[in-house]
């Protein structure tokens, strides 16, 4: 469980870095950056789902 939590922390930190980088731009971020943010969001949701299953004894 601890490894899942550590992975989740790393994923969220990386997504945050990309979002903050996107915020620095004076225009919309490129599609590639938006895709990375969205892909990370999907991975974060998947890791959270597995972590919830593990907590419930699944």
pLDDT digits (tens, 9 = 90+) for 14-55: 999 999 999 999 999 999 999 999 999 999 999 999 999 999
- 42 close to 16: Cβ distance less than 8 angstroms: no
Confidence of residue 11 (pLDDT cuts 50, 70, 90): very high
Nearest 10 degrees: Cα torsion 11, 5, 54, 56: -110
Any residues with CB less than 8 A from the CB of 11 and at least 6 apart, and which?
40, 43, 44, 47
Structure-token match 């945050």, residue found? 16
Q: What is the pTM of this model?
A: 0.89
Each domain of the chain, given as residue ranges in start order, spans 1-56
């Amino acid at each position: 469980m601890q490894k899942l939590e550590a992975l989740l922390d790393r994923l969220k930190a990386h997504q945050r870095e990309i979002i903050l980088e996107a915020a620095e731009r004076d225009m919309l971020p490129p599609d590639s950056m938006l895709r990375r943010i969205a892909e990370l969001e999907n991975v974060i949701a998947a890791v959270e789902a597995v972590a919830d299953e593990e907590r419930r004894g699944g």
